[in-house]
Amino acid sequence: MIIVHEIFVAKPGNASKLAKMFKEATKESPDVKNILTDVTGAYNRVIMVSHYESLAAYESSWEKMKEKLEAMKKMEDAMKGYQDMYLTGSREIFKVW
């Protein structure tokens, strides 16, 4: 199994707003399992956690998104303005043993 963390460092005051936006935008995604906000550690982090069977399945999910035009449009609408809510981001990909 592969677990992907999409990590965003939100602007102060925007972490919970960004988390709610991600939760709404990804509610129909079978891959997104959790939306997390920090309790300790670095401040203002929002992490989107996704699970995939393999790296190939992860790569395939990007191609599948391109095919689902209506679903992509809904997600884009739900995510409108999210770029204004964060400062930086990163991605971590883990293999579960």
Helix (H) / strand (E) element for 15: namely: helix 15-25
Q: pTM for the complete prediction?
A: 0.87
Around Cβ 26, how many Cβ atoms within 10 Å?
19
23-40 pLDDT, tens digit each: 999 988 889 999 999 998
Q: Are 12 and 87 in contact (CB under 8 A)?
A: no
Residues 16-25 pLDDT 10s? 999 999 999 9
Average pLDDT over residues 63-88: 82
What pLDDT score does 67 carry?
75
Q: What CATH number corresponds to the domain at position 8? A: 3.30.70.100
**Number of independent structural domains in the chain:** 1
Domain span holding position 76: 2-95
